[in-house]
């Protein structure tokens, strides 16, 4: 799904209006380049700027907003050398790596969710706790279940558009750490749970009762990845409730 979004960015054209300023996309950047840029951003930039690039006042990469209008070359230089007397540090990125990060930043406004509904984090917590019944699978701090992914810091790990997609189309983009696995024992008993680790000989999962289970593959009748139990909330929650829930999840940065 991310690849499809990136290809859309490359297809729609050269410029996207942000306010009254055009943002120009480099046509030679490929989908693979943008995905490389996303990974580099996640490794080096997300801690300070956040997944949506909006944690620093006056900057919002998801809307194409910088402190001023920079050229690509200027942004590459800033990423590599930092900005003196500011919290912006230098990195050890090559020009090629920094260029891919810049291409990724330029692509963000076009992949931002199209919904015009503005969410409210307070209402979103009520949706999470109530109608969404999210705590039955997920955990925040010390409250909730361990069956699904821990959401304590999800606002630092996922972009708002990714959180929205997880609610509407959860099977579209499953992170490796969140995959579910199914094993069938020799007696026909089936055990399903979140995959913790596996190798040539063994597999470890956390089952739906939050029990840690380890299996030797030669003792199993069947084993393999399973569909995620995460339901789609499309049609179950209103557009406003989805926006509110996303706003609440995006606010979860841990302590």
In tens, the pLDDT along 39-83 reads: 898 889 988 888 878 778 888 887 788 888 889 999 999 999 999
Q: What percent of the chain has pLDDT over 70?
A: 86
Q: What is the CA radius of gyration of the chain?
A: 21
Token pair belonging to 237: 């929650």
Secondary structure, 3-state, the chain: CHHHHHHHHHHHCCEEEECCEEEECCCCCCHHHHHHHHHHHHHHCHHHHCCCCCCCCCCEHHHCECCCCCCHHHHHHHHHHCCCCCCCCCCCCCHHHHHHHHHHHHHHHHHCCCCCCCCCHHHHHHHHHCCCCHHHCCEECCEECCCCCECCCHHHHCCHHHHHHHHHCCCCCCCHHHCEEEEEECCCCEEEEEEEEECCCEEEEEECCCCEEEEEHHHEEEEEEECCCCCCCECCECHHHHHHHHHHHHCCCCC
Write down the mean pLDDT value for the chain.
84
**Lowest mean pLDDT segment, chosen from 93-97, 110-114, 182-186, 228-232:** 110-114
Rounded Cα distance, 86 and 223, in Å? 52
What is the four-CA torsion angle of 198, 204, 209, 211, rounded to 10 degrees? -160
Beta strands at 212-216 and 180-185: parallel, antiparallel or unpaired:
unpaired
Confidence (pLDDT) at 13 = 36
Does the pLDDT of residue 203 top 60, yes or no?
Answer: yes
Confidence (pLDDT) at 117 = 74
Residue that the structure tokens 């030797």 belong to: 216
Does the pLDDT of residue 115 top 60, yes or no?
Answer: no
Mean local confidence (pLDDT), 232-241: 95
Does the pLDDT of residue 4 top 50, yes or no?
Answer: no
Say how many residues make up the chain. Answer: 255
Mean local confidence (pLDDT), 122-136: 96
Does the pLDDT of residue 212 top 60, yes or no?
Answer: yes
Mean local confidence (pLDDT), 121-138: 96
Does the pLDDT of residue 223 top 70, yes or no?
Answer: yes
| Higher-pLDDT residue of 31, 182 | 182
What domains sit in the chain, N to C, each tagged with a CATH number? 2-111 (1.10.760), 121-172+231-250 (1.10.760.10), 180-226 (2.30.30)
Most confident stretch, 24-28, 110-114, 249-253: 249-253
Sign of CA dihedral 112, 118, 120, 123: negative
């Amino acid at each position: 799904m991310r690849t499809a979004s990136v290809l859309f960015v490359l297809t729609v054209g050269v410029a996207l209006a942000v306010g009254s300023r055009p943002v120009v996309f480099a046509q030679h950047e490929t989908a693979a380049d943008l995905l490389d840029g996303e990974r580099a951003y996640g490794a080096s930039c997300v801690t300070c700027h956040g997944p949506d690039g909006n944690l620093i006042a006056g900057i919002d990469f998801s809307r194409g907003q910088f402190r001023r209008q920079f050229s690509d070359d200027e942004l590459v230089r800033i990423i590599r050398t930092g900005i003196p007397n500011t919290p912006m540090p230098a990195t050890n990125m090559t020009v090629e790596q920094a260029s891919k990060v810049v291409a990724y930043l330029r692509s963000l406004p076009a992949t931002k969710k199209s919904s015009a509904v503005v969410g409210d984090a307070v209402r979103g917590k009520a949706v999470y706790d109530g109608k969404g019944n999210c705590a039955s699978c997920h955990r925040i701090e010390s409250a909730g279940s361990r069956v699904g992914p821990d959401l304590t810091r999800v606002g630092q790990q996922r972009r708002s558009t990714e959180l929205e997609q997880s609610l509407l189309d959860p099977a579209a983009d499953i992170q490796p750490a969140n995959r579910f696995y199914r094993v069938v024992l020799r007696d026909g008993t089936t055990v399903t749970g979140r995959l913790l680790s596996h190798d040539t000989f063994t597999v470890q999962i956390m089952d739906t009762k939050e029990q840690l289970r380890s299996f030797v593959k030669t003792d199993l009748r069947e084993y393999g990845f399973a569909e995620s139990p995460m339901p789609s909330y499309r049609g179950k929650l209103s557009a406003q409730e989805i926006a509110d829930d996303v706003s609440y999840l995006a606010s979860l940065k841990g302590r």
